[in-house]
Chain A
Amino acid sequence: MKQPRASSMAWLQFSRLSLRHARKAPWSTLALLSIVALGVAVFFSIRLANRAAVQGFQLFSTSLSGEAEARISAPGGSLPMDQLPELRSHFGSLPVTLLPVLEATASLPGTGQDGDGFDAEQVAVIGLDLLALRNLIYVREQAQYEAEASEEWARVDFGSQTQIHLTKALADQLLVDTGDSFPVILGDTLHRLQVQTVLHPTEFQVGASEKLILMDLPGLQSVLGLEDRVDRVEVILPEGKQRAALRKRLSAALQSLPTDRWAVDSSGNATSSAESMTEAFRLNLTLLSVLSLVVGLYLILQALEAAVVRRRSEIGVLLALGFERSWIRRAWLVESLVLGLLGSSLGLALGWLLAQAAVQAVAQTVNALYVSTTAEAAAWHSGDAALAFAIGVCAALLSGWLPARDASRSAPVQVMRQETRGGGIQLLDQARFGWLCLALGALFYPLPALELGETLRFPVFGYLAALCWMIAAAILCGHLFAPMARALHSLSDRSPAWRLTLSQLRAPTGRHKLTVAGLVVAVGMAASMDILIHSFEGSVTKWIQHSLRADLFIAVQGIENASNRNRISEETWRHMAADPQVSHLVVGHIHEQAFQQQSTFVVGLRGTGGDVMANFLWMNEPPSGFSLGDRTADGAIQVLISESFGNRFQLQVGDEFNLPSPSGVLPLHIVGRFADYGNERGSVVMDGEELSRLWKDSRGLNVAVTLKEGADLGLVRGRWMQEYPGLAIRSNRMLREEVLRIFRETFSVTHALKAIGILVAVAGLALALFSLLIDRRQQLQTLRELGFTRKGIRHAVSSEGLLITMLGLLGGLLLSLGMGSILIFVINRQSFGWTLSYRLPWWSMALLAGGVLLAGWVTSIGVAQWGQRLKGEISE
């Protein structure tokens, strides 16, 4: 007799049975599809949003000048104008165009959410040599610029220093057109700029919504008081047949530039530098999106398992008819595959839509923490789509594998009347594997971060330790069912419902263990995040109390954006210092500085009185008598470093290192280390006066003002707000509140993830209870025959659910103690370099426990309500 082909039989089962089941239960089919789709969508959207944020940075840099061959800047920051003739001479007869660029930011007064201007919206301002730029149109091929744009460029005129050109997107936002004027804050001063040209987007891409102001270079330099310098010089080659040959010559010329004076960034480096700067951030987001897939995987696994249980009699019939077990397994895998294919396709579409919303949030964070990005929309990326699709399909197959195996092990219908107890993952029965994971976690715990490339240190062993402990807790908790049932044995005598419940837990099934594992992991992750946040908040509060002691804190409007380039002029802060109500003030001069190919900050503090050093929360206090500005015997500047700086660059107190500056390389000697939770890139602190001299910039980023005793803080603030409309002024209390608000907002995503985790675990509990009850429907019938009331059955089932929840909760809370320690002492320290003190958030953990118990109890009651009506076998 001819043997039927396994694949055709699996297909028969899928098409004749599975599809019909799906059609008969459209809502549960849709729910399953949605779970896969949502997991894929979150992963895909976060990838697209990340990509758009970094892409936005690239567009910001290149869209006006076209694609430059290279960018030249000074290693210590800005480039003095008087170096330009010398720079040009290095290129000899090469027909390159050198385009000096000054970048600035303009804050839009009256925007922002906090009302006091610190988070005012900002737009990029680019100062260019417009004459050179207009000539570029004739140097480069016409195809580079579309006709309309070229005409606009040709019309660009130089006008006065307050006449500007702005993009269509910005003009639309500000509701201005050619000839109109609008207010902006440049430097620390309010200016009215007049629109000379509205620049239309040159092509349909993300940059179409870019908001930029273009000014003539001398005009912007004059407004900012930076007449003698630019940020960079762009090197542009003419188009034409000789371009390839010219590029070779240019490359040679660039290589011959003295590196101590000029730094060369080839085309594309800007993006990669933005990429490397945000790498850790993007990695964390990717990890979070993978987490959503894992969570989805758990739900799919539970849901498919429930489907196997529901259809066990059908499988039994197929086996009795002669189906081979491998055919059954294959058919279930086909079902998972189809689920994965359809769900992932749906997920890609949903992900693309989600990305459009997510890109705003991601760009906002990138703007606040790292670099300026103009991204407002995410473009489709086939590579990311393929990756998300593949991961979605694999996740569905992986989560379908266990139920498929379970299905193929079903008993033929002849023996199905005998009770079956099973389901779940066999691995969860292996206590020894649990202990092994626990030990492995302890081994990984003390290992240092892994160096991934030159700039990224990734706490891979911290994550591995967390993973090991999660697996260990998930496995070992399943083995606590029997001891728990024994401990509660006395309840058995109290009621038959308790006896029944405890008897179920005395010999738990794999499904019990899988459910408790889900709860342990969800509660463990949620509570450990609580521990991290609480410890963080405690440390930050302590730091604020030390660092924020002045009465008023002043910065230019929009300063909360990391790329804001506006500063408070020397004239302004000196004027403030001379105010009769002011006791003393501290000016913070801050410059972003490249050091060992990474971006960090150099800070100068200049006090007009008081003790500047009293504002630090010390990790290593400098020797008594030390004051900023001191030098070592051999002339090295004595500096303080933040903890993050020390960890990032592996430097400690007593070490010496060289830092590039506009005045040449500086030898520095570290004498103290302080905590700084406001900045993960690290900072070097030196005397403000010295920094102003070396960096040739006396402007301040912020000013902390201490008023004389008896001075009216409100009056001074009000007066200065009138006098300096370009400045944002906060009182001590307002600033502290704001810092904590930002801190809490930073973790709002975490709270959302926490809630999702708990919801999923509770949904897992519901699915598990459904499956258990369907498995036990004959037992339920027996219980009714024995005289159990519906209430009794409800009590038994809900108690079982509640005890599973309690065990999951207990295991999760224990896990969170260890995970919290990994987050605080390993992952946080290796990622951000911050030391936090371990604090348990009793209230928050109690609330979490209460919430989980309540959710578990309500879910159990709901399932029990359904279960009490579940019929046994149909009577003849």
Chain B
Amino acid sequence: MDLTLQAQSPSQSPSESSPVCRVEHVLKSFDQVQVLRGVSFSIQEGERVALMGPSGCGKSTLLNCLSGIEEVDDGRIYVGQTELGSASSEARAGLRRSEVSTVFQFFHLLPTLTAEENIEISLQLQGGFSATERKDRVQELLEAVGLPDRAAAFPETLSGGERQRIALARAMAHRPRLLLADEPTGSLDSVSGSRILDLLEELCAKHRIAMLLVTHSEEATRICDRCLRMQDGRLVGEA
């Protein structure tokens, strides 16, 4: 088993590869409130896309649909070759264990697990690693996010920036093809937020991970290749 986080060639441009995810005319409503009204776009391998829009415009719902947590009412979402609408709940959970990862505004680390256990559980979910292999991989990830000495710390003892770095390491642990980031700097001060953005850019570029970054921050768009704008459940522009 290859334990290293091997990066693909950075010279390969996103447009040359096949899309990691494709969204086609997606409709979604909650209690007769139309939240997504025919959204379509795609993200190429290694491409980093920002998704911006006012609160309530449907950004987080779109992210949940992409991760397979929510099912769409109409339209299609492809992650790789898998169409999420026709995939079972188990298959969608399997995608989240291997292809898609999410980082959240409020980190959502499991409070009863230490930093290293939070990362390790992701590897354990993916399966195929021995305990030693998992330990090595976790150590590598902790070093990658700059927190090798915080392995045994519980989330409640970590700062916001540290928590988000651990969350990022957890998201990267199984080397996903698509990273969904839901306002990852929203709860952080500007310095910590900036560091997280740098780390996201570095790790995604290094491992050619496609990213959809939901944000309100124009600053965050600096690490993205393009920016989609959303309003009232529709994509209204791209920059």
Q: Give me the interface of A with B, judged by CB distance under 8 Å.
A: 417-419, 421, 493, 495-496, 499-500, 503-504, 506-507, 778-779, 781-792, 874-876
Contact B111 A787 (CB under 8 A): no
The answer to whether A784 and B110 touch (CB under 8 A), given A493-B131, A496-B121, A496-B124, is no
- Give A667 to B131 CA distance when docked, in angstroms: 85
**Which chain B residues lie closer than 8 Å to A786 at the CB level?**
96-97, 121-122, 125, 170
B192 near A: Cβ within 8 Å? no
Near A by CB (< 8 A), chain B positions 161-195 give 170
B85 to chain A, nearest CB (A): 18
Contact A418 B106 (CB under 8 A): yes
Contact A495 B96 (CB under 8 A): no
- Give A755 to B128 CA distance when docked, in angstroms: 46
Q: How many A-B residue pairs have CB under 8 A?
A: 89
The answer to whether A503 and B108 touch (CB under 8 A), given A787-B97, A876-B59, is no
- Give A179 to B54 CA distance when docked, in angstroms: 100
**Which chain B residues lie closer than 8 Å to A418 at the CB level?**
106
The answer to whether A504 and B112 touch (CB under 8 A), given A496-B121, A785-B102, A787-B96, is yes
Contact among A779, A790, A876 with B56 in the assembled complex (CB-CB below 8 Å): A876
Q: Can you list 19 pairs linking A and B with CB atoms under 8 Å apart? A: A418-B106, A496-B121, A496-B124, A500-B112, A500-B121, A506-B112, A784-B93, A785-B67, A785-B96, A786-B96, A787-B93, A787-B96, A787-B98, A789-B94, A791-B90, A792-B125, A874-B30, A875-B30, A875-B35
Contact among A417, A785, A876 with B69 in the assembled complex (CB-CB below 8 Å): A785
Contact B113 A784 (CB under 8 A): no
Contact among A499, A783, A787, A876 with B55 in the assembled complex (CB-CB below 8 Å): A876
B225 near A: Cβ within 8 Å? no
The answer to whether A876 and B61 touch (CB under 8 A), given A496-B125, A789-B90, is yes
Contact B60 A787 (CB under 8 A): no
B45 near A: Cβ within 8 Å? no
B40 near A: Cβ within 8 Å? no
Contact B59 A417 (CB under 8 A): no
Q: Which of A499, A788, A792, A874 has the most chain B CB within a 10 Å cutoff?
A: A499
The answer to whether A788 and B110 touch (CB under 8 A), given A875-B60, A875-B64, A876-B61, is no
Give the residue name and chain of the A residue nearest to B54 (CB): A876
Give the residue name and chain of the B residue nearest to A507 (CB): B112
B70 near A: Cβ within 8 Å? yes
B225 to chain A, nearest CB (A): 24
B89 near A: Cβ within 8 Å? yes
B47 near A: Cβ within 8 Å? no
Near A by CB (< 8 A), chain B positions 34-81 give 35, 55-61, 64, 67, 69-70
- Extra pairs beyond A503-B112, A875-B70, A876-B55 (19, CB < 8 Å): A417-B106, A421-B111, A421-B112, A496-B125, A499-B117, A499-B121, A500-B113, A500-B121, A503-B117, A506-B112, A507-B112, A781-B69, A784-B93, A785-B102, A785-B104, A787-B93, A787-B95, A789-B90, A790-B89
**Which chain B residues lie closer than 8 Å to A781 at the CB level?**
69, 108
**Which chain A residues lie closer than 8 Å to B102 at the CB level?**
785
Give the residue name and chain of the B residue nearest to A505 (CB): B112
Contact A784 B59 (CB under 8 A): no
**Which chain B residues lie closer than 8 Å to A503 at the CB level?**
110, 112-113, 117
**Which chain A residues lie closer than 8 Å to B61 at the CB level?**
875-876
Contact A499 B93 (CB under 8 A): no
**Which chain B residues lie closer than 8 Å to A495 at the CB level?**
124
Contact A499 B108 (CB under 8 A): no
**Which chain B residues lie closer than 8 Å to A782 at the CB level?**
104, 108-110
- Give A779 to B110 CA distance when docked, in angstroms: 6
Q: Which of B69, B117, B125 has the most chain A CB within a 10 Å cutoff?
A: B125
Contact B58 A876 (CB under 8 A): yes
Give the residue name and chain of the B residue nearest to A417 (CB): B106
Contact B58 A784 (CB under 8 A): no
B110 to chain A, nearest CB (A): 6
- Give A784 to B55 CA distance when docked, in angstroms: 24
**Which chain B residues lie closer than 8 Å to A787 at the CB level?**
93-98, 122, 125-126
**Which chain B residues lie closer than 8 Å to A790 at the CB level?**
89-90, 93
Contact A499 B124 (CB under 8 A): yes
B180 to chain A, nearest CB (A): 9
The answer to whether A500 and B110 touch (CB under 8 A), given A785-B102, A788-B125, A876-B59, is yes
Q: Which of A782, A783, A786, A875 has the most chain B CB within a 10 Å cutoff?
A: A786
- Give A504 to B113 CA distance when docked, in angstroms: 8
- Give A500 to B117 CA distance when docked, in angstroms: 9
Contact A789 B93 (CB under 8 A): yes
Give the residue name and chain of the A residue nearest to B89 (CB): A790
**Which chain B residues lie closer than 8 Å to A499 at the CB level?**
113, 117, 120-121, 124
Contact B89 A876 (CB under 8 A): no
A479 to chain B, nearest CB (A): 17
- Give A789 to B112 CA distance when docked, in angstroms: 20
**Which chain A residues lie closer than 8 Å to B155 at the CB level?**
419
- Give A421 to B30 CA distance when docked, in angstroms: 30
- Give A876 to B60 CA distance when docked, in angstroms: 6
- Give A290 to B67 CA distance when docked, in angstroms: 54
- Give A234 to B61 CA distance when docked, in angstroms: 91
B86 to chain A, nearest CB (A): 18
The answer to whether A788 and B93 touch (CB under 8 A), given A499-B124, A876-B58, is yes
Q: Which of A506, A785, A789, A876 has the most chain B CB within a 10 Å cutoff?
A: A785
- Give A875 to B69 CA distance when docked, in angstroms: 11
**Which chain A residues lie closer than 8 Å to B97 at the CB level?**
786-787
**Which chain B residues lie closer than 8 Å to A504 at the CB level?**
112
B5 to chain A, nearest CB (A): 19
B101 to chain A, nearest CB (A): 8
Give the residue name and chain of the B residue nearest to A871 (CB): B69
Contact B60 A778 (CB under 8 A): no
- Which 4 residue pairs across A and B have the least CB separation, nearest first? A787-B97, A787-B96, A503-B112, A782-B108
Q: Which of A496, A507, A790 has the most chain B CB within a 10 Å cutoff?
A: A496
Give the residue name and chain of the A residue nearest to B111 (CB): A419
Give the residue name and chain of the A residue nearest to B122 (CB): A786
**Which chain B residues lie closer than 8 Å to A784 at the CB level?**
69, 93, 96
- Give A296 to B96 CA distance when docked, in angstroms: 45
**Which chain A residues lie closer than 8 Å to B96 at the CB level?**
784-787
Give the residue name and chain of the A residue nearest to B95 (CB): A787
B99 to chain A, nearest CB (A): 10
B59 to chain A, nearest CB (A): 7
B93 to chain A, nearest CB (A): 4
**Which chain A residues lie closer than 8 Å to B110 at the CB level?**
500, 503, 779, 782-783
**Which chain A residues lie closer than 8 Å to B120 at the CB level?**
499
Contact A789 B60 (CB under 8 A): no
Give the residue name and chain of the B residue nearest to A778 (CB): B108
- Give A504 to B104 CA distance when docked, in angstroms: 22
- Give A792 to B97 CA distance when docked, in angstroms: 12
- Give A500 to B113 CA distance when docked, in angstroms: 7
- Give A638 to B25 CA distance when docked, in angstroms: 106
- Give A785 to B89 CA distance when docked, in angstroms: 12
Give the residue name and chain of the A residue nearest to B102 (CB): A785
B54 to chain A, nearest CB (A): 10
**Which chain A residues lie closer than 8 Å to B108 at the CB level?**
778-779, 781-782, 785
B156 to chain A, nearest CB (A): 8
Give the residue name and chain of the A residue nearest to B109 (CB): A782
Q: Which of A504, A784, A787, A792 has the most chain B CB within a 10 Å cutoff?
A: A787
Contact A779 B111 (CB under 8 A): yes
- Give A421 to B59 CA distance when docked, in angstroms: 30
**Which chain B residues lie closer than 8 Å to A419 at the CB level?**
111, 155
**Which chain B residues lie closer than 8 Å to A421 at the CB level?**
111-112
